[in-house]
Structure formats: C-alpha cells, structure tokens
Structure 1
Amino acid sequence: MKLSFLDLVPVVEGGTVGEALTRAADLARHAEAEGFTRYWVAEHHGMTGIASAATSVVIAHLAAATRHIRVGAGGIMLPNHAPLAIAEQFGTLDALFPGRIDLGLGRAPGSDQRVARAMRRTLETDANAFPQDVLELQSYFADDGQTGIVATPGAGARPDLWILGSSLFGAQLAAALGLPYAFASHFAPDALDQAMAIYRRDFRPSAHCARPYAMAGFNVFAADTAEEAELIASSQQQSFVALRTGNPRQLPPPVAGYRQSLGAQGNALLNQVLSCSSIGTAETVARDLAAFVERTGVDEVMVTSAIYDQAARKRSLTLTAQAAEDVKAAA
C-alpha cells in the first residue's frame, strides 16, 4: 500500500497565511520522514481558510523544504489558466526539482463562479474545453510542434501528469489518455466505485502508463486514543458544515462532542461527505485502510486531514504510516 498526503494548507482561526505555509513545509518534511510517496497541494480561490491558491509557488516552497518526496498539485484547475502558462510553471518546477514534480489536472473552478470570472476575466474558456486543454499542455511538454510554440521552460519537461475527478468524466478522460487517475472520494465519494470501474475498463495503454494506476482520497484522523481522534476531527467537520451552509471560515479549534451538538441534517451531511474516512487509533486506521483498499483496488491512497494543532497533525501522519505498515505485514 502506497500512502500519499493532500494538504489544503489550512489557515487556522486567528492564524496567518505565512504561518500556514511554514506549517505545510514542516509537515511535508515529516511526511517524507514517515515514508509517504507524494505530498500534494490543491488550487482553491477566495477562501480565507486555504493558503494554497498560488499552487505552483507553494509547490516550490515545499519541494525546497524536502529532499526526495514527490511534490505536486492535486490539483491545478486547468480551465482557470492558459495551458502555456502551466507548461512554463511546471517546466520551471521540473527544472528545479527534476524527477519530483506531479501535475494533477482538474476541471472544477476551485471557487464559485464569481471568483472564477475574476480568475479568468472571461468564462469563454470553461470546463468543456478541459480535454483539449490537457492535450495542448501535453503538446508543450512533448515539444512536438503541434502548437507552433516552444514552451521555455516546459519543452521536454517530465512532470507526472494525473487526471483528477469526482465524477465519471475524469475517469473517462484519464482512461482515454492513458494517464493515472485520482478520485476525490475524501469529499465527494458518491461515484467512487463506478468511476474506478470505468477507468479500468476503458483504459488505453500509453507512453505514460502501461496499465491503469488509480488513487483515491481518504480522510484520516489518527491519535493515541479514540477520544482524541474524535476531538481533532471536529475542526474539519466544522469547516465542512460551514462551507456547505455558505459560511466558509478559517480552520476552527476542535470542539469536544461536536457531532452530538449537530442536528440530524448536519450529521447526515457529514456522514455523506466524509464517508471515506477513518477516525481512531492506529489499529482502527489500519482496519479502515485495508477495507478501503480492498473495496476500491486502488494502487495508492491519498490521505488528507485538516487538524488544528500541528503536533496532533504530525502525530496523525505517524500513526497512519504505522497503520499502513501493519496492513502490509498482515497481507
């Protein structure tokens, strides 16, 4: 079982963006020491609790803070950008950190339509152009002359390309292009099983991948006791409820008994959105990870968690790595 980590670089309540970025570098070093395969950050805009909007800049910050772990985007929302600009950005990253850069591509705006318009200046380029944008980006990296433009940097760069998704569209595109596929089951789990089946069924081998390679998101809140794990998970739970009710906020401190304080509607929301999750001790996490991998057949699990306290967050990663080793040993 390969483990990786997705960090939204949360800004904690009362904290600053600078502090969030410092914490991210510290956590990336810790994930590297614990044997995680890759460390990704995601493009989100207009959210006071997320500090990874300038995603390629954050990737450079994290790659410079680490030595060998792969670092990348999970993902870049390609409709927000000209493919040439992304080729130049990730060509630069690949030149600075050769063999370590991943480029996951998504088609969602990473924001609402108002912020998307501010990002793009026009919505004439939209998600429907995503497959063509991916092909254009690949052309710049391949330097095959199809665009008539040489991306400098970018031409000849070899970041690992991934297609991201939370619906069947991404699975179909990743299969058609013969690219690795990552499903966002950590917050949108409904189509997980169907998407994985479509991806494997329709996969066409390519120069990038000889066989399907799939990854899926999984929330993990691990602690030395079940009670502590429930406590540290409450910060992300509060954030999800706030986001889904139109009140996004910075990552709040944990609240004991938070789930018990919610009404039926709030608990139903969390049960659905966070169904791909494990909250508990290393033993619980090992059991849940094993069940998730058996269910999905994924080659890699992308762990994610927004935890208010940095020491608790690092401890959670350590226990998760231990749990994964226990799963391997039992296999």
Structure 2
Amino acid sequence: MSSSPSQPFSVPVSILDLAHIGPGESVRDSFDASVELARHAEKWGYRRIWYAEHHNMRTIASSATSVLIGHVAANTTTIRLGSGGVMLPNHAPLTIAEQFGTLATLHPGRIDLGLGRAPGSDQQTMRAMRRDPSSADRFPQEVQELQGFLSDNSLVPGVVATPGAGTGVPLYILGSSLFGAQLAAALGLPFAFASHFAPDALEQAVSIYRREFRPSDQLDAPYVIAGVNVIAADTEADAQQQFLATKRSRVSLLLGRGRTFTDEEADMILDAPQGRQIMQMTKYSAVGTPATVRDYLDRFVRHADADELIVASGVVDRASWLRSYELLAEATNLRSEEPATSAV
C-alpha cells in the first residue's frame, strides 16, 4: 500500500538537471533556467542537484560541469550541488581535484563529485578532446588518485592539490553496468545507477553493490541512488502529452545528428524498430498526476532497493518543467526532510 502524500517520502529525492536548451532558447537561457530551478528546489526540499558532463550535444549545456556548478552555487545558499557526473577519463585527476577543491572551499558542505568513465560524447568528439580510447581502463586507479588529492594523503609523491587537499569532497561512483557497482563496493563509495536511461542492469547491479560493499572512511554502509524519469502534471492527459513530447525530443537528440525531426517523423521512428531502444530507455518513468507519480515512486524505491532517488525530467516546455518538480515536491512532502550529511 502506498503512503499518503501528507506523509514524508521514504527516501530523499534529488534532481538531475540536464541543462537542456529548449526550442528557441540560447545557452544563457538554459543557465538562467538551471538557477531558477535550483532556487525553487532549495525551498521545495530537494536533497541535491547534479549536472552531467556531455559534449557536442546542441541541446545540452552542461559540458563545463564544474563551472556550471559554481554559477548555480553562487546563486543559491543551502542545496547540495554536484556532478552527475564528471567523466574522469576526460581529465587529469589533479585538475578535477583542484576544480572541486575550489568549489568546496567557496561553498563548504555543499559540493558532491560524481564520477563516470564514459566519454560523454561520440567517437569523433572523443578524439577532439585528445582522449585516449583506452583511458577508461585506468578509471579505478584514477578514482583513487583523485581521492588522494582531495584528502591529506596524495598518492603522487611531491604533488598536492591546492585547492583540494583536505577538503574531503565526497565521491560517488556513477554507472549503468555491473562494473560501476563492483568498483563502488570495493572502494566503499556511494553508488548512483543511471536507471533513468539505462534500466536493464539495475537490480543486479544494486544487489552486487550491497553484497560486496566494504566500509571506507567516507561511508560505513552501502548507499544507493537510483535514477528515474518523472513528469508530474495537474492532469493525466497533460502529463501523457508532455511524455510524448519528451520522447519525440529524445529521438532528435539521439538520432537527429544536428537536425530536429517533425512530430510526424519522430512518431514514425518511435514506432519503428530503431525507436524501441529509445522507448526502453524510458522504462522507469513516473508519469501522471501527483498521486500517480507518488504511488509509482513508492514502488520504484522498493524495486530499486534505493536509499535516494535522483529524478530527471525531459519536459520541453519550461513552465511545465518547473511545475513538474513543484508538484513532485508537494506529492512527496520533501520539506520535512532532514539535512544531508557530508558522507552522502
């Protein structure tokens, strides 16, 4: 039986802001919208907001992730902000330690560092970034090197991150496969699973992570964050229409190669075999009125065995996008949540 909307939700709820650039918007419009969302989310009771590193995507503006985090942090006061995530193989660990050490020094107790190993781009863009195709193989070692730079125990003799050393910025391993689960467990770090777009291995990955987890200085027990898509609206019909617009937009993002498909073209693709993968990506989606969304998320928390949810919204219309997060906060009674600890 689901709980009443008047009751506090069973786990904290956070936001993955894709910093999307909507139709007719500029990059600056996207940044302004991210600030507006963060200011509201702070009042509404969300735990944190994360921004993901993507490159060469004309409708996503979070490529310089640490810079965007700093901008939003300077325009808010209490909400946690971080990367969901930084694609570490694209960077030197020392550079990321310095960037996030700077953020943590300017905004103490508010900065998270989520780490992934995917390129966040296509092969051509990866070459433009001068990334070695085998760099992902060094991800476990580079996570530990980064962890050392953020502590007082640098693993590189004679090299100290300034800023960074001693800040203890909490690390999170992001993943959509069993590899990330195993690494997060071995290092004793929180694990965030990207089930909002890669749902297939969710249950197995969480099971492995919880079974193999080893306590660390940062975390003494497993902590799972599960991604889920949410579209809440005042009516069921409105929510379903927004969901359709979201799927059409994703067709253009993933298959358009710079062009935007018409609604008719997008619908044809969604009905074709090549659209099945896009439909599968939205497997975990709470869509409907606030009560419907709350009921879905109650069940999803149990299904994912999650300690926290991070919700993504692909709603195209800005007013509806903001309204969706407002309705979700009301439905889950987020204002009653206790402040987050530095470990998670």
Provide the TM-score with structure 1 as the length reference: 0.92
Aligned to 2:302: 294
1:131 alignment partner AA: P
- Counterparts of 1:77 and 1:228, CA distance in 2: 35
Does the 8 Å contact 1:4/1:300 carry over to 2?
yes
How does 1:30-49 map onto structure 2 within 5 Å? 30-49=40-59
- Report the equivalent of 1:241: 251
**1:75-106 deviation line (CA, Å, top 9, x unaligned):** 00000000000000000000010000000000
Deviation, 1:272, is: 1.0
Assess if the C-alpha contact under 8 Å between 1:179 and 1:206 holds in 2. yes
Q: Work out whether 1:170 is the aligned partner of 2:173.
A: no
Give, in angstroms, the shift of residue 261 of structure 1: 8.7
Match of 1:324 in 2: 332
* Corresponding residue of 2:3: none
Alpha-carbon deviations, 1:208-240, whole Å to 9, x = none? 110000001000010000111112223321232
Segments of 5+ residues of structure 1 without an aligned counterpart are none
What is the aligned counterpart of 2:216 among 198, 203, 206?
206
* 1:179 and 1:209 in contact (8 A); partners too: yes
Distance across 1 between alignment mates of 2:259 and 2:233: 25
More displaced, 156-165 or 78-87? 156-165
Aligned residue in 1 for 2:199? 189
**Superposed CA offset, 1:273-326 (max 9, x none):** 100101100011011101101111100000001222222111101111122239
Deviations 1:155-178 (A, max 9, x none): 111222100000000000000000
1:239–1:248: 8 Å Cα contact kept in structure 2? no
CA spacing shift, 1:155–1:125, aligned 2, 3 Å:
farther
Of the three residues 84, 108, 129, the one matched with 1:98 is: 108
**Which residue, out of 210, 219, 232, partners 1:222?**
232
Task: Identify unmatched segments of 5+ residues in structure 2.
Answer: 1-10, 337-344
Q: How far apart in 1 are the matches of 2:259 and 2:225? A: 29
Task: Specify the alignment match of 2:15 in structure 1.
Answer: 5
SS in 2 for 1:229: helix
Give SS of 1:102's match.
strand
How has the CA–CA distance of structure 1 residues 208 and 322 changed in structure 2, closer, same or farther, with 3 Å as cutoff?
Answer: same
Find the residue that maps to 2:140 and give its secondary structure.
helix
TM-score, normalised to structure 2, is: 0.89
Q: Is the 8 A contact 1:289 1:324 kept in 2?
A: no
Q: Deviations over 1:184-222 (max 9, x none)?
A: 000000000000000000000111110000001000010
Query: How far apart, CA to CA, are the structure 2 residues paired with 1:284 and 1:111?
Result: 35
Identity %: 52
State the distance in 2 between where 1:31 and 1:279 align: 19
Instruction: Check 1:246–1:99 CA distance in 2 against 1; reply closer, same or farther (3 A cut).
Output: same
Is 1:137 matched up with 2:157? no
Q: Does 1:60 align with 2:70?
A: yes
What number of residue pairs does the alignment pair up?
Answer: 323
- How much does 1:247 deviate? 2.9
Cα distance in structure 1, aligned partners of 2:76 and 2:259: 29
Does structure 1 retain, via aligned residues, the 8 Å contact 2:93–2:143? yes
Query: For the aligned residues, what is the CA RMSD?
Result: 2.1
Contact kept, 8 Å, 1:56 with 1:73, in 2: the verdict is: yes
Greater relative contact order structure (CA < 8 Å, 6+ sep): 2
My pick for the range that moved more, 231-240 or 46-55, is 231-240
Q: What is the distance in 1 between the residues matched to 2:74 and 2:189?
A: 27
Q: In the alignment, which of 117, 128, 140 is matched to residue 137 of structure 2?
A: 128
